[in-house]
């Protein structure tokens, strides 16, 4: 069996095979031989779990840092700024 590192290209070829058979470009036996040569179609998700975890961890750390900056300077802020910062999450677009 032939192992190709670019599975996206093989999956694209497998999606094109029915059209090629319908148009008479190749016959069903040739399509079967191509599938046998390139191996089974792999269904993998388009996302990488490590990227998702790194993104979530980064968002939590950055958000926590901003909250800590506000918490550290809370006593030095005027009542107006404390009110604005307290109510800002209610108006923040979601």
Q: What is the mean pLDDT of residues 24-49?
A: 85
pLDDT bucket at 20, cuts 50 / 70 / 90: very high
Bigger pLDDT: 94 vs 37: 37
CB contact at 8 A, 15 and 38? no
- Determine if the pTM surpasses 0.95: no
Q: What is the mean pLDDT of residues 4-30?
A: 87
CB atoms within 10 A of CB 66: 10
74 Cβ partners below 8 Å, 6+ apart?
Answer: 82
pLDDT bucket at 72, cuts 50 / 70 / 90: very high
Helical residues (DSSP H) of 1-94, grouped into ranges? 7-22, 28-38, 49-72, 79-91
pLDDT bucket at 2, cuts 50 / 70 / 90: low
Dihedral sign for Cα atoms in the order 63, 69, 75, 80: negative
Task: Look over the chain and give the mean of its residue pLDDT values, rounded to a whole number.
Answer: 87
């Amino acid at each position: 069996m032939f192992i190709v590192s670019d599975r996206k290209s093989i999956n694209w070829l497998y999606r094109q095979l029915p059209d090629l058979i319908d148009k008479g470009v190749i016959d069903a036996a040739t399509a079967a031989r191509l599938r046998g040569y390139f191996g089974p179609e792999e269904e993998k998700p388009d996302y990488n779990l490590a990227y998702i975890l790194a993104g979530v961890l980064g968002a939590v750390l950055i958000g926590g840092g901003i909250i800590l900056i506000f918490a550290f300077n809370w006593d030095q802020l005027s009542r107006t700024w404390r009110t604005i910062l307290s109510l800002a999450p209610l108006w923040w677009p979601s």
